Amino acid sequence: MSVPHPAVEKAVATTLATEHGRFAMLGYRDRGGIDHVALVLGDPARASSRARPPLVRLHSECLTGDALGSWRCDCGEQLRAALRLIGAEGSGVLIYLRGHEGRGIGLMSKLRAYALQDEGLDTVDANLRLGLPTDKRDYAAAAAILHDLGVPRIRLLSGNPDKAAQLAELGIEVANRVSMPVAERPENAFYLQTKRLRMGHDAALTSLDVWEGLIDGEAPTGPMTEPGAVLLDRYGPLVRPGSLVIGQLAQSIDGFIASRTGDAAYVSGSEDREHLHRLRALVDAVVVGAATVRADDPQLTVRAVPGGSPARVILDPAATLPPELRVMDDGAAPTLWCIGPDAAAPEDVKPHVAVVRLPIRQTGSGWRSGFAPADVLAALAARGLTRVLVEGGGRVVSAFLSAGLLDRLYLTTAPMLIGDGVPGVRFSGRDRLADALRAPARRFILGSDVCTEFDLAALRHTD
């Protein structure tokens, strides 16, 4: 391993606001007179010394893919995916390496290689036919930029093991490589196959491979099938270490989770229910109110997807739940029965049920007297349950939202009008729309339903 003599000079520092965050934008010039750009988010130098170092993408310029949206390669989609992942993590570096067009052979040579590929040659043979190397790139400038940024240890956003090997020779430790949620297309399938078979890039991952990586707490390495790319894009932000509190609710387009009789079977469709099971598989505990348990008699387990079931946490201040309900009787998952300090609890609860007594408080949020959401989370954290899904009903999710304790909220709206019934999300609003709660959001189509993901933690980071 050799640490290079500084091979770049920092020329300018400014900022760049994007949909993924406000990046520090640093311009560098290398010894050959080529200009490169580093986009820096958060404090990657500090993260470099931690167990989970920052995400770093070394992106080789590609006019056709990055600027013109070509589907002959996956470069543009990798660029956008890398920015999205770094933005979701809140820290990282993207280095845009100029002089790397066509893996270093230049734009006109790349276009000549395209013409040979039109005749049936793969990308390797096309370069060789032109008397050019398969891959002319080196990463000395990128390594020098990382050293200048104080980031000697990284997680590399790449499916190319050669990048990691070159960085190691240049004094950058690659703790691991992380895949990006980019799917194969018919137009680039042969190109991607050539990279895997002839250039040593990672093999494609199935959707099951990706999901197993997610439930193990780490985004997997390698290119993906389209379903796998969707899974990593949708759920990848949830696998970061540390505590996490998610809210989830499905409601009609006019804001109700059940009819006036309490019938909630079903507001949303099967795709949304699968989404709910995926969320359950990614957390330690799922929290529901006693009213929801009485009305629906849910199992609160993971059945529609691979993964273990979380602990079930039932908020029942008056200890009113009958013992025949499934969460109290089936033993399918550990169950925490949260009751008030003076509530009378039977002594013959099933072995899988643990009684947890919590104080009764006035929440001040429009929610009637009951458990304060912060007390619930503290009790769970004391038991090592720090990744929490608040699943229902509307009053419980709204209480956690009003308390400012949700990191993300998944709100699915179904194309139906109930008119009146059991309300969904409700909390004390503001007098002016300008002061309404707004957070970075993404939307997913789940069959006929639309799921909106609100990144509420991002609001706290900008306060």
Q: Mind telling me the catalytic residues?
A: 135, 137
User: How many CB atoms are closer than 10 A to CB 224?
Assistant: 26
As a dihedral over the C-alpha atoms of residue 272, residue 273, residue 279, residue 283, rounded to 10 degrees, the angle is: 160
**What phi and psi, each to the nearest 5 degrees, are found at residue 173?**
-85, 125
Nearest C-alpha neighbor of 23 from the set 92, 76, 89:
92
Element spanning 392, H or E: strand 387-392
Residue 434 φ/ψ region, left for φ over 0, alpha for ψ in the -120 to 50 degree band, beta for the rest: alpha
Tokens of 38: 């580093």
- ∠ CA 253-256-260, rounded to 5°: 135
Rounded Cα distance, 133 and 127, in Å:
6
DSSP track, 314-371: EE-TT----TTSHHHHS-SS-EEEEE-TT----S---TTEEEEE---B--SSSSPSB-
CA distances from 314 to 321, 376, 380 (A): 9, 10, 12
Instruction: Report which secondary-structure segment, H or E, holds 210.
Output: helix 207-215
3-class secondary-structure state, position 384: coil
Reduced to 3 states (helix: H, G, I; strand: E, B; else coil), residue 385 is coil
Q: Is residue 385 packed enough to be buried (19+ CB in 10 Å), middle (13-18) or exposed (0-12)?
A: buried
CA angle 280, 286, 287 (to 5 degrees): 150
DSSP 239: G
Q: Is the peptide bond before 96 cis (omega within 30 degrees of 0)?
A: no
Task: Using alpha carbons, select from 49, 59, 114 the residue that is nearest to residue 86.
Answer: 59
- Can the peptide bond before residue 393 be classed as cis, meaning omega within 30 degrees of 0? yes
Q: How many residues does the chain have?
A: 463
Residues 426, 394: Cα–Cα separation, whole Å: 7
